[in-house]
Amino acid sequence: MNKFKKMKRIYIPLLGLFLLQSCSSDLLNTSPESTKVTANFYKDEAQLEQGVNAVYASLQYNGQYQLAMQAIGEIPSDNTFDEVPANDSFTYGEFDFFTIQPNNSLLGSTWKDHYVGIQQANIVLNRIGGIAMDQTLKNTRTGEMKFLRALMYFNLVRIFGDVPLVTKETTDVNEYFGQGRTPVETVYDFIEIELKASIDLLPATASQKGRVTQGAALGVLGKVLMTRNRYSEALPYLQKIEPLGYSLLTDVTKIFDPSNKNNAEIIFDVQFTSGLNGNTEGSQAYQMFSPSGFISGAKGHNLPTKEVYAVFSSGDLRRNAFVGLTPSGVPYSKKLVKTSDAIVDGGSNTVVLRLADVFLLMAECYAKTNNFTISNLYLNKIKTRAGLNPVNLSGEQQLLDEIALERRKELVGEGHRWFDLVRTGKAISIMTAHFQNTPGYNTAVIKSYNLLMPVPQSQINTDPAIKQNPGY
């Protein structure tokens, strides 16, 4: 079994020169706009709305939630593997064996596409004060931009560590040249401030599907605080989410059903739709993350491992709901569904946050703060929904291990496992054991420097002040 362009310019200072791009018509009911230079734009509310939509559109890019966040969040872990590493020039296979190179094209897209979105958010936040529009709507759009910018920085800092912190519209291409990377803790401080501000600005419910709400900001803030080992601080934010109206679906097969998008369990997801704008609003994820040969044109990247399939007991309702097996026994994700004859035009949304994730985070926080009774309660909400017997665990480590197991099963393929292993300090031990126990991985080794990904070499070539992470 196997598990897993260079760019010519730096994607920090030049972002102010990028042209606007339209967002999904399904998401925000817009139509494609002709390109407009930002300096001559944003004169009224309608133009500002197009700028807001462009930030949402950036989430659909390959380097964000179309491909990168699912792949980077899963393939380096024991959850998924690369069936055909030779496809796409070993881009995905490098994550499988921790042979990741600084010229990896997916990492290059990850850096670029996140900073494109960040700069677009910076532009909107810089211009919105001067636009005549309803104050409530202005507050909502400000909250959306602060949240999305914070989310993008959270992704970047978890993947790369220190990253340049750009918080204002960039019009001078030399403004950030030579400043290097901002320390992780400074970036995290900024993320916290922005998320807390967005909570007070965002509505409790979305006016249109796919828009950011308070629940999303509360959940991501909770996850940020947990990543910083501040569990008692995270809990009050996570506790506020369910009362906003979210609920677990009783039928796990309905969570990722394309006919049941934006259901009561989904707190925030990135919208994709088949058959719109010449098949440009769909996702490549179904093609890229389906078994080779099982689906015509599939690439065989980021497939569930046989190990994770075996972790599900026969009575676990999630096994057949979330993971299927090809006739030859290769696991595949049922969270991605074929919705179009065009394989590159997939209609499955990418879920960023859902209530099951939040409940397991709460269970972890309660365990860390010695409230084992409530920790068991939230853990059992997930277990009983899956058809499993409830537990009554009395030790912190027992609870944390069981919660980690449930997170692994419940969220398989959604881009969380690798980040969970890193934030809990288990990545090296878990992956070393995985390599030792899995055929085909006798050459695979994980070292401490692999907990961060290499900075794209193109960025370093453009600005020598941006230094490479150790080990690469």
Q: Where are the domains of the chain?
A: 12-212+431-445
Q: Is the pTM of this model over 0.85?
A: yes
What is the Cα–Cα distance from 367 to 364, expressed in whole angstroms?
Answer: 5
DSSP-derived secondary structure letter, 324: E
pLDDT of residue 24: 34
pLDDT for res 9: 34
The closest of 383, 389, 325 to 359, measured between CA atoms, is: 383
Cβ(141)–Cβ(203) below 8 Å: no
pLDDT value for 7: 29
pLDDT of residue 194: 98
Distance (Å) of CA 465 to CA 13, 108, 214, 388, 452:
13, 18, 38, 53, 19
**What would you measure as the largest C-alpha separation in the chain, in angstroms?**
63
- Output the tens digit of pLDDT for each of the chain's 472 residues: 333 332 223 333 333 333 333 333 232 332 333 334 566 678 899 999 999 999 999 999 999 999 999 999 999 999 999 999 999 999 999 999 999 999 999 999 999 999 999 999 999 999 999 999 999 999 999 999 999 999 999 999 999 999 999 999 887 767 778 889 999 999 999 999 999 999 999 999 998 999 999 999 999 999 999 999 999 999 999 999 999 999 999 999 999 999 999 999 999 999 999 988 877 889 999 999 999 999 999 999 999 999 999 999 999 999 999 999 999 999 999 999 999 889 999 999 999 999 999 999 999 999 999 999 999 999 999 999 999 999 999 999 999 999 999 999 999 999 999 999 999 999 999 999 999 999 999 999 999 999 999 999 999 999 999 999 999 9
pLDDT at 37: 54
Residues comprising the chain, all counted = 472
Query: Within 10 Å of residue 324's Cβ, how many Cβ atoms?
Result: 16
Dist. CA 158–CA 399, nearest whole Å? 25
Judging by beta carbons within 10 Å of its beta carbon (0-12, 13-18, 19+), is residue 392 exposed, middle or buried? exposed
pLDDT at residue 39 in the model: 63
Q: Which two tokens stand for residue 468?
A: 């490479």
Gap between the Cα atoms of 325 and 328, Å rounded: 8
For 192-232, give the DSSP string: HHHHHHHHHHS-SS-SSTT---HHHHHHHHHHHHHHTT-HH
Separation CA 63–CA 275 (nearest Å):
22
Half-sphere exposure in the Cβ direction for 243 (13 Å, CA): 6
Report the CATH number of the 12-212+431-445 domain: 1.25.40.390
Helix spans in 352-395 (H):
355-368, 372-385
Q: Which residues pair with 350 in a beta bridge?
A: 270
